[in-house]
Amino acid sequence: MTEKSWCKACVWFASAAFAVVFAGTLRAEPAATAAAIAHSPVQAHPALWVVHGPRSTAYLLGSIHVLPPDMQWHTREIDAALRAADTFVFEIPMDEAQKTKIQEFIKQNGMLPPGVALPSLLTADIRKDYAAALNLTHVNPELLTPMRPWLALLMLETGMVTQQHYSPDLGVDRQVYAYALKQHVTFRALETPEQQLKLLMPEDQSLEMQEFDAGLKELLNETLSVDDLVNAWAKGDTRKLNDLMNSGFKENPKAEKPLFDDRNRAWVAQLEAMLKQRHVYFVTVGAGHLAGPKGVPSLLRRDGYKVDGP
């Protein structure tokens, strides 16, 4: 695998912008969706951290950027933190204007030149895997025809997640944002959508087809499922969540640094600056960024902050 061939489940835990791009674009089949909704609601108990700063408090909640329709994640502690907060912090700005910016980025960086079709770029062997992936994910091939391979692969991964009855429309960060919009609060963001999407693009376009091929094979031979990660998150099992994320990068350790480690350190610097101001923050970022010894809570503890939680 090449450096940017992320595991599907890890991408869904890493990028809020990725979820925003595809929210509402792909839907599970109506019968399948109805069957998923028919199940009794599942009550999740995700981990919540409390960081005590010199002049403020920050609550940290790990987001799942995709969730099934029967997953309930509100707890007494989380709801109390939501009510206490006057400032809500997300990975990226969550307002509607960001969608336009993301769409423009995709238009400039995700589409093939006019007259070039994705299937024409594929070798016979890759075309077989591509056909199998289309059959597995039920993505309309006409949607992918004008796309560059990196974007088409993300669409296929979205289709796979959708077939498992997960939806980016139900992501925790989107639900938290919908709540916060009704309150008299302010918003902050740790990154821009462009910064996140650039992480998902090949650095060397000459390797893009190799990455597309590797990504198709990973999609067809999935070893790390979104189900496993969501179940660990729902139980508040941060150790299991961290172990699963590490296993996702086992064959590709170089990907972990830009996707998680570097960003965690950058976020910690921003959060430490915020903690010197008089606010109560509710911070919602991908759950994978909070678990384990290299997660944001552990880094804050290392810098001398009191952090209550797992």
Strand 186-189 with 87-90, pairing: parallel
* Number of domains the chain is built from: 1
Q: What is the H or E stretch that residue 307 is in? A: strand 306-308
CB 73 within 8 A of CB 44: yes
Round to whole Å and give the CA distance between 305 and 310. 15
Q: Has residue 16 been placed in a domain?
A: yes
**pLDDT, one tens digit for every residue, the chain (310 residues):** 334 444 555 555 556 666 666 655 554 443 344 444 445 688 999 999 999 999 999 999 999 888 888 899 999 999 999 999 999 999 999 988 888 888 889 899 999 999 999 999 999 999 999 999 999 999 999 999 999 999 999 889 888 888 888 888 888 999 999 999 999 999 999 999 888 888 878 777 767 888 889 889 888 887 557 788 899 999 999 999 988 887 767 666 677 888 889 999 999 999 999 999 999 999 999 998 999 999 999 999 999 999 999 8
Round to whole Å and give the CA distance between 168 and 189. 19
pLDDT score at 40: 64
Round to whole Å and give the CA distance between 141 and 156. 10
- The single residue listed with the structure tokens 């979104």 is 226
CB 51 within 8 A of CB 305: yes
CB 165 within 8 A of CB 69: yes
pLDDT score at 210: 85
Q: Has residue 205 been placed in a domain?
A: yes
Q: How many CA atoms lie less than 13 Å away from 53 in the CB half-sphere?
A: 21
Neighbours of 259 (CB within 10 A): 25
CB 263 within 8 A of CB 35: no
34 in helix, strand or coil?
helix
Round to whole Å and give the CA distance between 286 and 63. 5
Q: Has residue 151 been placed in a domain?
A: yes
Q: Has residue 1 been placed in a domain?
A: no
Q: Has residue 3 been placed in a domain?
A: no
Quote the tokens at residue 145: 């025809």
Give the structural domain span for 153. 8-308
- Which residues share a beta bridge with 67? 167
pLDDT score at 3: 40
Q: Has residue 2 been placed in a domain?
A: no
- pTM equals 0.87
Q: Has residue 292 been placed in a domain?
A: yes
CB 256 within 8 A of CB 250: no
The DSSP code for 112 is P
